[in-house]
Amino acid sequence: MDETVARASHREAEEYLSRYLAAEGTDYAVMIDGPWGSGKTYFLKSFLDRRNAAVLNWDPLSASGRYWYASLAGVSNVNQIYEQFFASEHGKSGRIATEIALRASAYFSKNTVGTPADAAKIRRAMLDPRERVLVFDDLERSSMPVLEALALVYSFAKDGVKVIVIANEEEIASPVRNINKIPEEAEPARSDYERQKEKFVSKTIRVGSDPEVVLPLFTARMTSPTAKACVERSTETVLGVFRASKMQNLRSLRQAIEDFDHLVGMLEATLREHPKAVDAILVYLVAVEMEFRGGTNGMSVEGIRALRSERWSSLLGKGPSGTGVRLLASYPMVSWNDPIIPPEHVATLLKAGTIAIEELISRVQSHPAVAPPQNLAPWRALWDWTSLSRAQYVYFRDLLVGQLANRSILHPGELLHAIGEVLRLRKFGDDLINGADPDAYFRQYVDEVVADRRLQPLTELFGFSSGSHAGLVYPENDTPEFQMLRHLVREGVGKVRDAKLADMLPAFLADLRLDQRAALRLNNYGEKEGNLQGVPFLQLCDPKEFAELLVDGSTPRETVMAAFLDRYSNDVHEKSLAAEHPWVEDVEREFAVLVDREAPPYKRLLEYRQSWMKSELNKSLRRTGTPATSTAA
């Protein structure tokens, strides 16, 4: 009985549905089939709404054009379907009708309060499906067995009621639906479904909404004037990105437009005067979002973040990965190399729906597509030097040469970018350091800015996977020459940090003598706030002086000792305090001397604390030997 129309145009689908709805004596249903997000629900509702409006225009009292809609997603029983039909019929008055049903059930059952089950029966009795079109959506997402849902559909269709089912047949009887189900609960095989469907469904029409039709509707709902104007002038480009994704999922496109609207709305003041930048953000976000929402084969959040370290060009080095090659080929209209919105911010937006707005504004304002030339850092402009004109290149090149000569680049990340650009441009025949050996040149540079402590002590730039700064991979990052110079800069940063911590140490120890709570800074993260967890500096302190701070006269200073031990238990995995480990053993030896000098009963009390210290430090420092203990007989 079932006949399938492989891919019907909207006109063809509407013509068939009109004939079906006008026919008399039907005893079958019609199915609208298509993948998730293809716009089949939107298509059908639009058609039925226009049909109903035409009927009412001819006869305002007629109900023949009305339809009842029920989504089967998550539905496990018939009453849940009738509740949706009830809402379709009564609209905003549904609550009043429900109250009437509850009171009627109470009256007929002679109870003070009617039960929901009784009310459901009365609601069903109040519904007459004749002259209505019944729409059952999301057949594949029903919690009811699919064959049971089809039987329910037929129970209406066999009595002449017009029934339209919306489904994604690819997901029906798929292995995914049968995961973790015992055999008797598993969905039927595809052949069982097809045999049952043959009895109830006359025709299956594969249809979806055209993106050209729905994109203006998505645009009409936008709230950011800048974002809306961008989509309106970039319609063909957006549709080109959508088609290039080969996913044809209009829900994903709608979500991408909504996310773009939200993002640009937050950046309205920054982007309002930069339409080309907004255009670039639009196509980048749509492409990434279509990839992200591409079902089981979609790009993961970590995959989006990894785009920041992708090598989009093979100039004098390793080329893009397989993912990079595919994206470049699929979306030639997207600027992948230097996106205005960094991939890590896009990943957070798509995963959590949040935006670190202050940080993002700073990043956007420093991008060459937005920043005025006079405000653009030379290293930033030269990062993508191939996009510059000859005049622009010479302008920023000369500025960078001047900054290097004046030793005015003091941020370690910016200095590493400058180093990478010197190495990269040298390969293209432009020597920014006039024939000097890069190792000797930058060793002298670092020595000078370390000597006067101007190099910023930003040690966090050298953590795990720290091959980039400001969302941009360092040029020449994968070369031995760059890595050697990176190590040089890292050592310089460490020297400046150690010098500043050495200056700070006397004040910290003085605070610790006066108040044990000062020790809590040893466990708190965030160096900028004066907290010192993860900052190796105690090795600069005299071990004997610190051991004496662990006791007050003859009694242990519990808060100081606990903070001291927690400092290393917190660092078991990071191992950022490795420089302090030899010093810790010296502190233990000095503490053992204090214990030896003590007299009972305080001696035994300190011995207990000494044993505790040994046990905790052995675990935290992963030691196999035995630290110093008291030498008392």
How confident is the model at residue 388, as a pLDDT?
92
The answer on 359 and 281 residing in a single domain is yes
**198-210 pLDDT per residue, tens:** 888 888 888 767 8
**pLDDT above 70 coverage of the chain, percent:** 86
Residues 64 and 151 in one domain: yes
322 with 462, same domain?
A: no
User: 229 and 354, same structural domain?
Assistant: yes
Neighbouring CB atoms inside 10 A of 192's CB total: 13
Q: Is the peptide bond before 211 cis (omega within 30 degrees of 0)?
A: no
Shared domain for 192 and 285, answered yes or no, is no
Statement to judge: residues 204 and 263 lie in one domain: no
Q: Are residues 136 and 11 in the same domain?
A: yes
Distance in angstroms (rounded) separating the CA atoms of residues 112 and 239? 60
Among the three residues 355, 371, 387, which one is the final residue of a domain in this structure? Answer: 371
Question: Would 449 be classed as within a structural domain?
Answer: yes
Query: Is residue 65 assigned to a domain?
Result: yes
Which is it for strands 551-552 and 555-556: parallel, antiparallel or unpaired?
antiparallel
In a domain, 364, yes or no: yes
User: Looking at residue 629, what is its pLDDT?
Assistant: 46
Last residue of a domain, one of 164, 188, 209: 209
pLDDT at 289: 94
Residue 463 DSSP code: S
User: Do 357 and 407 belong to one domain?
Assistant: no
- Alpha carbons 292 and 614: distance in angstroms, whole number: 51
Instruction: Judge whether 311 lies within some domain.
Output: yes
Considering the domain architecture, whether residues 170 and 66 belong to the same structural domain is answered as yes
Q: Are residues 284 and 303 in the same domain?
A: yes
563 inside domain: yes
Q: Does any domain span residue 140?
A: yes
Torsion of CA 132, 133, 134, 140, to 10 degrees: 180
633 in a structural domain? no
With a cut of 90, say whether residue 535 has pLDDT above it. no
pLDDT in tens, 451-464: 999 999 998 888 76
Instruction: Tokens for 260, please give them.
Output: 């773009």
Amino acid 313: pLDDT: 75
Q: How many independent structural domains does the chain possess?
A: 4
- Calculate what percentage of the chain has a pLDDT beyond 90: 58
- The mean-pLDDT minimum among 172-176, 297-301, 510-514 falls in 172-176
Residues 366 and 406 in one domain: no
Sign of torsion over alpha carbons 625, 627, 631, 633: negative
In a domain, 520, yes or no: yes
Q: What average pLDDT does range 515-529 have in this prediction?
A: 81
Do 224 and 188 have their domain in common? no
Cβ-Cβ contacts under 8 Å for 69 (sequence gap 6 or more): 45, 84, 85, 88, 135, 137
Q: CATH number for the domain including 132?
A: 3.40.50.300
| Model confidence pLDDT, tens digit, residues 110-154 | 444 445 554 444 445 446 777 889 999 999 888 888 888 888 888
Identify the domain containing residue 93 by its residue range: 3-209
Residue of 490 and 108 predicted with greater confidence? 490
Three-class SS state of 41: helix
- Asked if residues 377 and 414 have their Cβ atoms less than 8 Å apart, the reply is yes
Write out the two tokens for 287. Answer: 């492409």
User: Which of 192, 209, 226 lies at the terminal end of a domain, its last residue?
Assistant: 209
Residue 573 has a CB neighbour count (10 Å cut-off) of 6
Can you give the pTM of this predicted structure?
0.67
